[in-house]
Amino acid sequence: MSHPLFDIRGRVALVTGSSRGIGRALAQGLAEAGCAVVLNGRDRHALERTRAELADRTGATVHAQAFDVTDPGAVAEAIPRLEDLAGPLDILVNNAGMQHRAPFTEFLTEDWHRLLETNLSSAFLVGREVARRMTARGSGKIVNICSVQSEVVRPGIAPYSATKGGLKMLTKGMCADLGPSGIQVNGLAPGYFDTELTAALVADETFTAWVRGRTPAGRWGQVGDLVGALIFLCSPASDFVNGQLLYVDGGMTSVL
């Protein structure tokens, strides 16, 4: 039997951006741990496909709520609706995100705004709406999906790094504001993971050789590598952990 400190059976969790990739794997991990899970994304068909697959695979209660996490009106409307459907949220994972690469001097203003809205404003909007409700109940766990780029950078992704660095400080600020109400807000910071977001990099042999050489674990992360850390951050085992970033990067950020 697993340790009671890691028991999250019966909790209700929302994972934003969970129709594929990291969000999908995190939602599956929570469902396998006994949570009822609400999936989110913009593409209704992809979302419904994932909902049916996860429900089938895990036997858990899996809901799907399509809305755009960058739209303040849609978020304000969606959170009460999904709580009516699934029950009060115990866990929020702010995962929805995007990447766009370009040399700094060629970066378009619209791409800067798209990155900022998708990777940072979304966590503020969804986090604020959910935190209002968690505060009234006096408990909750919020996990913001940050990145190694919250800490270190590479050429071509300055705006992405700015959003992830901002998310790190939003995590700490939310911890300061919400900790007294019994809510923990932490960051989970993946290294390089093989998903649709990184497909072009995975296919690039030079880049993949760089990732392998730069990562003490010697490989790309696979989405399942993140699940154990998420369960820790959502469980009573982390009740006194607040405002921290947990790097799951095969050691990448620790070495020069």
Residues annotated as part of the active site? 160
End-to-end CA distance of the chain: 40
Residues that bind ligand NDP (CB under 6 A): 16-23, 40-43, 46, 68-70, 95-98, 118-119, 145, 147, 190, 192-193, 195-198
Which lies closer to ligand NDP via its Cβ, residue 30 or residue 192?
192
Q: Tell me the closest approach of the beta carbon of residue 175 to ligand NDP, in angstroms.
A: 19
Residues sharing a CB contact under 8 Å with residue 89, sequence separation 6 or more, in sequence order = 12, 13, 14, 38, 79, 82, 83, 130, 133, 134, 140
Which lies closer to ligand NDP via its Cβ, residue 147 or residue 184?
147
Residue for token pair 């998903």: 195
Nearest to 179 by CA among 236, 140, 147: 140
Q: Tell me the closest approach of the beta carbon of residue 193 to ligand NDP, in angstroms.
A: 4
Element (H, E) at 16: none
Q: Tell me the closest approach of the beta carbon of residue 57 to ligand NDP, in angstroms.
A: 17
Q: Tell me the closest approach of the beta carbon of residue 146 to ligand NDP, in angstroms.
A: 7
3-state secondary structure of 63: strand
The tokens describing 212, both together, are: 């392998």
Nearest to 75 by CA among 96, 55, 51: 96
Which lies closer to ligand NDP via its Cβ, residue 77 or residue 196?
196
Q: Tell me the closest approach of the beta carbon of residue 180 to ligand NDP, in angstroms.
A: 28
- The CA-atom distances, in angstroms, between 152 and each of 33, 143, 149, 186 are 32, 20, 5, 18
CA–CA separation, 94 vs 116, rounded Å? 14
Which lies closer to ligand NDP via its Cβ, residue 10 or residue 228?
228
Which lies closer to ligand NDP via its Cβ, residue 105 or residue 206?
206
